[in-house]
């Protein structure tokens, strides 16, 4: 390797990293969304019938979801779309994005309330409503 190549490589590598690697804010929100998907996955499996219904587990997961649903939003910092699936439209339509984020949190709170009340049919139906509120945002604001 020539001296020139040795000098250029680190510069090229850092430029490439700046262009394509997710930034810390994106890594933060991705980790929260993955954690949400993990817990929601159990609820969705119960709603689909691919996992047996269990009241205690359902209640536990619904409460976890309420707490997690408040967390991703501070990760959508200005100029943090780079290297992620977040569409620039988030920052162009911030009020709409925020209202969809709030709708998801509201649906999660309803899920936890229904879980505490213990009407199994209502709880399982509400899983679908939570899923719809995830999807509403993904359709407009996430690259698929």
Q: Where along the sequence are the contacts to ligand ASC (CB under 6 A)? A: 37, 40-41, 44, 131, 134-135, 138
- Residue 2's CB is within 10 A of a number of other CB atoms, namely 7
Least CB distance to ligand ASC at residue 119 (A): 22
**Distances from the Cα of 129 to the Cα of 8, 68, 85, 135, angstroms:** 53, 17, 23, 10
Min dist. Cβ of residue 124 to ligand ASC (A): 15
For ligand ASC, give the closer residue by CB, 109 or 138.
Answer: 138
Nearer to ligand ASC, 4 or 34 (CB): 34
Q: How far is the CB of 114 from ligand ASC (least distance, A)?
A: 18
Between CA 96 and CA 50, with CA 101 as vertex, the angle to 5 degrees is: 130
For residues 117 and 46, the answer to whether their CB atoms sit within 8 Å is no
Q: Which is nearer to ligand ASC, 44 or 101 (CB)?
A: 44
């Amino acid at each position: 390797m020539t001296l020139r190549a040795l000098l250029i490589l680190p510069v090229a590598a850092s430029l490439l990293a700046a262009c394509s690697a997710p930034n810390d804010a994106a890594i933060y929100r991705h980790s929260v969304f993955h954690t949400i998907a993990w817990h929601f996955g159990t609820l969705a499996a119960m709603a689909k019938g691919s996992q047996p219904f269990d009241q205690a587990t359902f209640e536990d997961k619904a409460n976890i979801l309420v707490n997690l649903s408040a967390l991703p939003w501070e990760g959508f910092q200005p100029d943090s779309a780079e290297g992620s699936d977040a569409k620039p439209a988030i920052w162009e339509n911030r009020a709409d994005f925020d209202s969809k984020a709030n709708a998801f949190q509201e649906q999660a709170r309803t899920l936890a309330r229904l879980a505490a009340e213990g009407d199994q049919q209502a709880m399982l139906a509400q899983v679908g409503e939570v899923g719809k509120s995830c999807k509403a945002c993904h359709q407009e604001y996430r690259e698929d």
